[in-house]
A and B are shown apart, each in its own frame.
Chain A
Amino acid sequence: MTTQRKLWYALVALLFVILSTACGSSATSEPLAEPANPFVTDRPSDPNLKAATAGAAPQIPGMKPMLENNELRLYLNETTAEVAVLDKRTGNVWYSNPQGRQETSVSPYLQGRLSSQISMVYLTENGQNKDYDSYNDSVNYQQFDIEVTDTGVAVTFHFGNPERGVEALPVKLSAERFQELTDRLADEADKEELKRRYKFVTEQNVWEIRDIPKAVVKRVLALFYEKLGYTEEDLARDNEAAGLESAGGNANPKFSATIRYTLDGEHFVASLDASQLVEETPPYRIHSLKLLENFGAAGTEDQGYILIPDGSGSLIYLNNGNLNAQPINIQMYGSDQAIFVKEKITNFQPARLPVFGMKKNDSAFLAIIEEGDGLAWLNADIAGRQVPYNTVSANFVILPKDEIFLTENEITYKTPNHSYKGQLKIRYAFLAGEEASYSGMAKKYREYLQETYGLQKLQDGEDTPFYLEMTGSMPKDKNLLGIPYVGMVALSEIKDAAELTQQLAQQSIQNIRMSWKGWFNGGFDHDVPTKIRMDRVIGSKDDWLLLGEQLKQLGGAFYPDVAFAEVYDPSNGVRVSRDTVQYISRRYARIRDFDLAVFERRGLSHYLLSPRKMDWVVGEFLPDYAAFNPGAISIRDLGNHVYSDFARNRESTREGTKNIVMNQLQKITEQAPEMMVNGGNAYALPYADHVVNAPLASNQFNLVNESVPFYQMVLHGFLDYAGTPYNFADEQDVRRNVLRSLETGSNVYYSWITNDPSLLKDTEYSYLYANYYEHWFDEAVQAYHEVNAVLKQVRGQHIVKHERLAEGVYKTEYEQGLQIVVNYGEKSVTVDGVTVEAGGYVVKGGAQR
């Protein structure tokens, strides 16, 4: 053999080895362990929970009492699997499905939907969506089991038509096989029937099944299975011979799912263990599940509203008739950056709290998504579209899917290998009378947070914080005689910041919470923080530590800002291929900026750190940070959004990522106890002391009637928070921002630089268009004093009530009686005997302004 030939063979062999190992290694990938939520796993069970006494009053027709504790009793209808919860304290009953749905004139299919407790979307082979629900596809066929114990009721549904359908007929039969079958039939009429239902395709010499109308299917099935003695093995063999793995589009997929109900104190808890889902007919897989989607559905006569946590919160009035508007479908904690988007048209405020609720006449419920909130989407709609009911519910996507473009025109749908295998759990709390309002719902959620996360109240009477974000170092393109290079430029220097702090102190502003973006590893789009190299342009390390001391002495703190999830530049041990998130297509997730005018993707903004690598990055970061640590830290990204990872061998669901983030925040807070979180998603609240860029308004979708500061109502008293910086707000008028702060209990927040803004010209950072501190200093001082005078009195108090008094006029009431009435309108308004000027406010029950 010539050398050339030997070489050629060697090359081929090598290629073969590579390919086989690649295939081999990927074939046996086990799902990684699902990280656990540190707060939820060990809740003590309710000691008062016991089996309900049979025949207890009040009787609910058709239902048997199953469980009860001191506050609630659970009833179950054993024929329809419906449940009802009686609130013993008020006598109100809440149903999982609207009673009286049989009298409505909706189609039988929709009637079934209204009667279901679980509904799911599953994926076909091609990634197309199809629906099943627990009534039409399980209860209808009497295919469910109920298991009652002392601590819970479990209903297991088996989805899928038990009878054989069209999918049990062979799709293709070879000419010989067909002849053989026909010969076995005795009756001439039967032979005709067979020939009629199959079509001969000459080119392939096969008989192919035609479209069989529903009415005839049974007859044809009988023909095969009874007259011909056809069996399942025959079916499998024939289909295989024809080269088909399954029955194509006519298949009858089967699944099993178990929903568990229990009572825990004053909460009714519904849960589903996703690891116990059974998918009996691969390749059909469950894409998403809705639990109790009809719970508390309100009819056309009911009055009240639905609360959704969209942005700060918004209310959809029941039966508002706004059918021109689309139903609500929002994702919890914002959109997943690991799902590819081609263009971005609007920036939505994400939903930050995993709750939803409804007020129906004199009572209300609040649902808290305790587990699976990372996967949840909230759906809400009014009556009149397809059914005469207003509903709000959570939809859990346990197996995401995405489009993949192989070439320009070929699109295929892909899913990750493993779906979520954890728990999905929703807790329901019930309110009545006075408390049946969004203020009452906020209270219930606060109580839950206190109990579960151990949140504690702040002190009253202390000055409110003045939030100040400083932007420090930034890379800038420079040029030396035609040789371009990138140099570091300081937008603010530590010495100047120290002086600014002095100036503020002289104006009696002492509780300054200063966060600093751009201090290490090349500006604010810094290199991975596993190693820390301070940017010397802003000053020396000694100055840095001195500034921290200075702020602490005054009564504030210094929060260096770090991003962990956003990888701006692969560096310091983080490689794109190994450590960053991939899309379902297995391409590296490159998160881009979007063009403001044209909506399409522009330059690269960042990669995302794989959640499984976060532990390592944080572990490397903390020891290095010790040298710069003023006892505090500002987290730029972990509390702001949640994402999946679809990279092979390190897949992570959003829920998994959320739990990993919680663990990391715990680690970080041990080293830097004072934590400022940007965004403020609910899972970050146990660790955060301050939340900035909290949503101050809702997205005002067309279906929504009113924005409410639900987020603030939940947080106030537990932590300090602020919205967007005043100079970045869409309305830069300080009066409006002061009013908003007073209404929502938010604090004054500015974002400044101390050097000349002309440094920003021709850089990517032109969005810092209004940051020069001198332009805002006086206004900021005045705003702070005004807001502080009022809010310092209630710093540790909860907001007990918030309501809209008139158009543009809102009243916020605190625990110990302080009331603030603000008027955003253009005319003065008189309410309760007090006149509030246009653009002004009135404080009652405390020190006046």
Chain B
Amino acid sequence: MKRLSILLLLLSIISILGGPAAALAAPYESYNYSWYGDPEPSPVPYLPERQITGTALSVGSFSGPEDMFVTPDGKIYLLDSGNNRIIRMNEDWKVTQIIDKFMNNGAEDTFSVPQGMFVHRDGHLYIADTGNKRIVELEEDGSLVRIIPPPVSDVLPQGFVYQPIKLVVDSAGRIYVVGKGVFDGIMSFDSGGKFTGFMGLNEVQFSPIDLFWKRLMTEEQRSKMILFIPTEFNNVDIDEEGFIFATTGEAFSRSPVKRLNPSGTDVLKRNGYQPPMGDIRWTFDGAMPGSSTIVSVAVDRNGIYSILDNKRGRVFTYDREGKFMYVFGVAGEQQGTFKTPVDIEILGNKILVLDKGMNRFTVFSPTRYGETIRNAVIYTDTGEEDKAIALWEDALKMNNNLEIAYLGMGKAELRQGNNLQAMESFRLGMHREYYSRAFERYRKEFMWEHFNKIALGALAAAVLAFAAAKVIKVRREEPGVVGMAWHNMFHPFNGFWELKYENKGKMWFSLLILLLLSVLYVLKRQFTGFIFNPDAGSTDVSLFAEMLYIALPFFLWCVANWSLTTLMDGEGKFKEIVVATAYALVPLVLVQIPLILLSNVITVQEAEFYNLLESIAYIWVAFLLFVGMLTVHQYSVSKTIATMLLTLVVIAIILFLALLFFSLAQQMLNFGTTIYNELLFRMAEG
């Protein structure tokens, strides 16, 4: 018994092979970016299974390892850069070979801080021997095949320093090398090792303001400014079709990962709610500020790929369409977290992350949640609808906030022809285009089924309208207040004249119009069809807010107009301006209900009708306003146009003054608060 316990003790001390199989709790939280861009809590997709250090493998500690590679047949290579060696392991984490030297022309040769490696499908190893400025190709057993020297070419700029850091080789044997500090793109070599040029040049990003200033500067000033040059790539991977995935570490870039076709164009699909760039929100202070710094990409099957954010230690995974699947990982002091993560690789359904700072790599295995989503994406991609739907439903059980699951289900349902369910799924998944497509099909279906009733209904309505028109035509007396407004719409010159001189315009009616407009906007926010307003049904629509949004611009216009026209010999009194402007808004009031109704029955392609209707209303309003101003102020046409434009300028001035005042007030408040705080603090100290 005692021997057993001693043995077990020794075992437990010696076998520090990382730790127990997949942890039960994750040292990180996971989240999912919703359509609104908020991080919603979600289950963790991967859990750390084990950590492998050099000591655990009994080959001596790693030293600043920079790269790893996993072959399709499950061999794992680790490039131990600081120790200038390559370690090969099998899936049981047993070391099968260490390559630290090779024979070169009869003499022994070694690497010098190699930073990248790739294993070709024929088993040959390609190593970016950075310190020696060359690429070394070895056989699987470590014997030398050839050395590819630095490139020579006219295209290379003056003082070009060749430092290959990462590389991939395509099926034809062409080699693509990422050079450190190279801004012209990825260097490509043909299968013979000759340099053939650059590919995948990054676009320069600058703001129009910078461009403006640059135009104004002198040559000398320009030369002193920061150069606007494209950023360098920092890592590459290649997929089964020979497309190259390349990453850059540029801050605030919207495309830190690109998928380059053979001619170097970025063909990565970015059809998710947010582009594949890691985190879409960040702070500017705190321990880890700024956008994600992408340092590596790993390609999984069926178009799925993962990118590694070195700043906060996160792994983001996207599908073929660029839709966000899940995220995990964090920088930290626990096992399963990272200090300086530099590379990710895919091993079956597991993910390996190499941590240069801790000289180890961590193997992550999927949880039930992660596995379900990955498989669902794979089935969706291969077209196995039933299996996909089943898995997406499973995923929703585990996380009912998962919008991508609704999309997946929706697509599958669409293919199966269940249009109504597809619509519901797409609505929950917040996707307008797909919803529109499903809706289109559903509408056709609906029309087909209910054609009789619809036709009958339409006919009945037409007959009724005709009859009504005939009957009501009789009434021809003085129109009331409402009638006045209606009349005004079609006979503006007449109408506004009567408004001004015959006092037909009522103030209370004007305010009523404003109120009505607010209410209608509220209804519009809540009931417009999903295609035009994905926010429909939102509960933070407030009547009071809408009233403010309408009343404020309205009165701003009136005040500005009145101020201006007073100075420009206008005859309009303030009350008249208010009334005229309000009456001009009547078409807008009338068009809302039809718009709401229309939005619920048309698709994205037919959106033009919606826009047309809305535009007609706006133009009509503008015309009425023009006529109103003309009549009220008794101006000529050109003067009316001029005053209307100048009113806009006055509005701008008023806004500017308001902003200034507000800013001053804020400063004073700030000052006052600081004093108050200080006082309180001092008092509290006694």
Contacts and interface: CB of A to CB of B under 8 A. Distances in A.
Contact of B677 (A26, A326, A406, A766): A406
Interface in A767-821: 767, 769-770, 772, 775-776, 803-808, 810
Contacts of A586: 680-681, 684
B678 interface: yes
Contacts of B677: 406
Contacts of B347: none
A639 B358 CA distance: 36
B372 to A, nearest CB: 9
Contacts of A705: 16, 19
B335 A700 contact: yes
Interface string B418-445: 0000000000000000000000000000
A482 B522 contact: yes
B24 A484 contact: no
B546 interface: yes
Nearest to A600: B283
Given A766-B40, A808-B20, A732 B686 contact: no
A700 B27 contact: yes
Contacts of A648: 684
A477 interface: yes
A4 to B, nearest CB: 24
B62 to A, nearest CB: 11
Nearest to B15: A807
Most buried by A among B2, B33, B400, B684: B400
Nearest to A776: B397
Contacts of B42: 769
B13 A596 contact: no
B464 to A, nearest CB: 29
Interface string A631-651: 000000000000000001000
Interface stretch (A58-66, A120-128, A338-346, A665-673): A338-346
Interface in B565-617: none
Given A303-B13, A345-B330, A733-B367, A596 B681 contact: no
Contacts of B359: 324
Contacts of A731: 22, 24, 44, 47, 367-368
Interface in A17-40: 19, 22-23, 26-27
State which size class the interface on A falls in.
35 or more
Contacts of B22: 731, 736, 824
Interface string B1-39: 110010011011101110111111111111101000001
A825 interface: yes
Nearest to B28: A346
A706 B28 CA distance: 19
Interface stretch (B117-125, B142-150, B188-196, B533-541): B533-541
A730 B44 contact: yes
Given A483-B542, A598-B279, A317 B16 contact: yes
Most buried by A among B55, B283, B523: B283
B26 A730 contact: yes
B397 A770 contact: yes
Contacts, number: 211
A303 B543 contact: no
A404 B684 CA distance: 14
A347 interface: yes
B20 A706 contact: yes
B214 interface: no
Nearest to A317: B13
B286 interface: yes
A701 B368 contact: no
22 contacts: A324-B357, A326-B333, A346-B332, A478-B539, A479-B541, A482-B542, A483-B542, A483-B543, A483-B544, A586-B680, A586-B681, A596-B41, A597-B33, A706-B20, A707-B19, A731-B24, A731-B368, A760-B400, A766-B41, A804-B8, A804-B20, A806-B11
Given A705-B19, A730-B47, 12 more contacts: A303-B13, A325-B333, A477-B540, A586-B684, A598-B281, A696-B25, A706-B20, A730-B43, A730-B367, A769-B40, A769-B400, A770-B43
Interface of A: 19, 22-23, 26-27, 303, 311, 317, 320-321, 324-326, 342-343, 345-347, 349, 404, 406-407, 434, 437, 476-479, 481-484, 585-586, 595-600, 648, 696-697, 699-702, 704-707, 727, 729-733, 736-737, 740, 757-758, 760, 762, 766-767, 769-770, 772, 775-776, 803-808, 810, 824-826
Interface of B: 1-2, 5, 8-9, 11-13, 15-17, 19-31, 33, 39-44, 47, 55, 279-283, 286-288, 330-337, 357-359, 367-369, 397-402, 518-519, 522-523, 526, 538-544, 546, 674, 677-678, 680-681, 683-686
